[in-house]
Amino acid sequence: MVTIENLEKELKNQNLKSLYLLYGEELFLLETTLKKIKSLFGEAIKGINYILIDESNISELIANIETPAFGYEKKLIIARNTGILKKEGKRKNAETAKLKEKINKYIQENIKIINESIVLVFVEEDADKKQELYTTLDKLGIVCQFDFQKAIQIEARIKAICNGYKVQIDNSTLRYFIECCGTNMQDIINEIRKLIEYVGPNGTIKREDVDKLTIKKLESVIFDLTDTLGKKDIAKALEVLKNLIFAKEPVQKILITLYNHFKKLYFTKLSVKYNKDVITSLNLKPNQTFLVNKYKTQAKYFKESELKGILQSLRDLDFNYKNGLIDLQVGLEAILCRYCS
């Protein structure tokens, strides 16, 4: 298995292999890599030297490999979400198992033919590393798992993009930018390009530029709201809430996000109290671990009993709203006022 960075480096050097398995949750980087493979392959005519395979026609994969790419040196075959690399459940499908075995054996016995005339790319949401087909692809080709990027990896990518446009951004502003815009690579790329265009070549992206131009994620605004609650600043807390509603965030979504945030603060409080690992307690993904210090800082604003009380108040509000007893926005404002008093 190769890392995302090493695969990107290989493709940048125009080193195109004949056999790939790309899978994982970080879809933006995966799709970007797939586009690079297509670009390196060159002219692709669908049905001639470019074949798409999915779950409905995976049984035709071998036939498509064996069919010549008339008039072209090589054929590009992309097998997307075929399901043949998924972990098998307790009830195994005999037909699917037989097909997997057939494809695996064919690739092993005909890898020379594939190397000479085919670029075969498997693209899956998930893949079982224990499968024989996975082992074969890893041994004879390139396997890359696209996990969500860690904060340090995201920072490195943003720095590289900024450097490419001769734009400066210091580490503090960079971390603030990620806190505001989240860790979805597509969103991050869109927002950083906006800032790069704004400051121009040889410019410097500043914290106020991030505040002025970027679209903050709801989760980031909830952090801001919680900060105002912790500091007992009722005017600011209500302003943040009203700005969210003005930006057309559904009030029900605000309630759910607020509840989940305070639940994480409660779990953080307990984790610190009993010397437990916060990352494990909150079940944070690699691209979320940079938030640990923020959760710890905000958890200090509240007593354990206060966090339990806020969670109960939010649950009561949801119940009363669903039963037509209170307006959701009024209820949220009342809770904010209560805990800022």
Which CATH architecture describes the domain 218-340? Up-down Bundle (1.20)
Q: Is 41 exposed, middle or buried (0-12, 13-18, 19+ CB in 10 A)?
A: middle
| 201-205 contacts, C-beta under 8 A, 24 or more apart | 201/165, 201/166, 201/167, 202/166, 202/167, 203/167, 203/168, 204/167, 204/168, 204/169, 204/170, 205/162, 205/167, 205/168, 205/169, 205/173, 205/177
Residues ≥6 apart with Cβ < 8 Å to 215: 181, 191
At 296-324, the pLDDT tens digits run: 999 999 999 999 999 999 999 999 999 99
Q: Span 151-213: which CATH code?
A: 1.10.8.60
Domain range list for the chain: 4-146, 151-213, 218-340
DSSP string spanning 160-223?
HHHHHTT-EE-HHHHHHHHHHH-S-HHHHHHHHHHHHHHH-TT-EE-HHHHHHHS---HHHHHH
Global pTM?
A: 0.76
Task: Tell me the residue type at 330.
Answer: V
CATH H-level superfamily of 4-146: P-loop containing nucleotide triphosphate hydrolases (3.40.50.300)
User: By 3-state DSSP, what share of the chain in percent is helix, strand and coil, each rounded to 5?
Assistant: 60, 10, 30
Tell me whether domains 151-213 and 218-340 share a fold. Answer: no
Determine the average pLDDT of the residues in 332-340.
88
At 163-220, the pLDDT tens digits run: 999 999 999 999 999 989 988 888 899 999 999 999 999 999 999 999 999 988 888 8
Closest-CA residue to 163 (of 194, 196, 206): 196
